[in-house]
């Protein structure tokens, strides 16, 4: 199949970017979206042009590196699918496909389709951990975790931190990411000691990074490649309000 790509080219953080059209021929429907971009880059390199820079790593939907807004939807038209797990069979011969980077002032564009997501690292740094004593491994049954809590923590922990929630949010909010990371630890007994300070610190860092507030629209959950539910945000809201009520920090 042949497709036309309109994609964002930007030389570096300070340069002005623009949409540039490229035709790509000989695409197999079994290729992944990123393999299709590899074909484009081979064409560009052979022609002596700069290849298109895009983030990718595992290409199996678990690392959270791929970050493409495809036809205006973060990670493209398939639900619960990262860009790397999207296949060309979901497109048609002759399609024009628009590809852009995540757009958020908190995620500056480094080059073409690559954005700097270190704002997420700083939110994790602010409180996305538990303070545990080091030493010998603790007895596995020393601290019992109810199945319900373990499941809840796991549902939150599957967040791959790709940033699609920010890319899709009309408010540019990262509350789904922050809520998932706070819930992942706050649902477990080991995370209770710092539950209040974690909620305040991560919530504050979220705002300090310039992300907007959550108006409960739910666009983030619709594009999330791992299906983090919207209640993670409400849980963080509740934890922040509870921390403020209990004067714990």
Q: Where in 120-159 is the site for another protein (CB under 8 A)?
A: 122, 125-127, 129, 131-135
State which of residues 24, 33, 100, 225 lies at the interface with another protein (CB under 8 A): 100
Q: Give, in order, the Cα–Cα distances in Å from 82 to each of 66, 79, 211.
A: 7, 9, 22
Min dist CB 61 to another protein, Å, is: 18
Please pick, from the candidates 61, 64, 203, 225, the single residue that binds another protein as defined by CB under 8 A.
203
x-or-dash string of contact with another protein, 153-192, rule CB under 8 A: ---------------x-xxxx-------------------
Does residue 137 sit in helix, strand or coil? Answer: coil
User: According to CB under 8 A, which residues from 205 to 234 bind another protein?
Assistant: 205-208, 210-219, 222-223, 229-231, 233-234
| Stretch in the footprint of another protein (CB under 8 A) among 22-30, 42-50, 53-61, 204-212 | 204-212
At 212 the three-state DSSP class reads: strand
28: its two tokens: 């197999």
- The count of residues interacting with another protein (CB under 8 A) is 71
DSSP helix/strand/coil, 180: helix
User: 3-state SS of 20-69?
Assistant: EEEEECCCCCCCEHHHHHHHHHHHHHHCCCCCCCCCCCCCCCCCCCCCCE
Site for another protein contains 52 (CB under 8 A): no
Residue 94 binding another protein, by CB under 8 A? no
Compute the distance between CA of residue 131 and CA of residue 143 in angstroms, rounded to an integer: 15
For residue 200, which phi and psi values (nearest 5 degrees)?
-65, -45
Does residue 91 bind another protein (CB under 8 A)? no
3-state DSSP assignment of residue 174: coil
Specify whether the CB–CB gap between 191 and 242 falls below 8 A: no
Closer CB to another protein, residue 38 or residue 95?
95
Q: Between 118 and 249, whose beta carbon lies closer to another protein? A: 249
Question: Least Å distance between CB 90 and another protein?
Answer: 14
Stretch of residues binding another protein (CB under 8 A), selected from 31-39, 59-67, 86-94, 235-243: 235-243
């Amino acid at each position: 199949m042949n497709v036309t790509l309109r994609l964002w080219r930007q030389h570096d953080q300070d340069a002005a970017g623009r949409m540039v059209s490229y035709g790509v021929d000989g695409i197999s429907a079994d290729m992944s979206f990123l393999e299709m971009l590899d074909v484009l880059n081979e064409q560009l390199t052979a022609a002596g042009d700069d290849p298109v820079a895009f983030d990718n790593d595992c290409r199996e939907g678990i690392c959270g590196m791929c970050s493409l807004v495809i036809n205006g939807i973060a990670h493209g038209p398939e639900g619960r699918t990262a860009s790397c797990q999207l296949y060309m069979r979901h497109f048609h011969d002759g399609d024009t496909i628009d590809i852009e980077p995540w757009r958020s002032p908190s995620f500056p564009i480094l080059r073409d389709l690559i954005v700097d997501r270190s704002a997420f690292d700083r939110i994790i740094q602010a409180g996305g951990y538990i303070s545990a004593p080091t030493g010998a491994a603790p007895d596995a049954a020393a601290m019992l975790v109810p199945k319900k809590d373990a499941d809840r923590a796991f549902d939150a922990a599957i967040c791959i931190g790709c940033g699609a929630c920010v890319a899709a949010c009309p408010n540019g909010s990262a509350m789904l990411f922050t809520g998932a990371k706070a819930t992942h630890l706050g649902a477990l007994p080991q995370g209770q000691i710092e539950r209040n300070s974690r909620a305040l610190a991560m919530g504050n860092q979220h705002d300090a990074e310039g992300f907007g507030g959550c108006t409960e629209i739910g666009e983030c959950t619709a594009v999330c490649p791992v299906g983090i539910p919207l209640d993670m945000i409400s849980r963080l809201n509740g934890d922040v309000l509870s921390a403020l009520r209990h004067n714990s920090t």
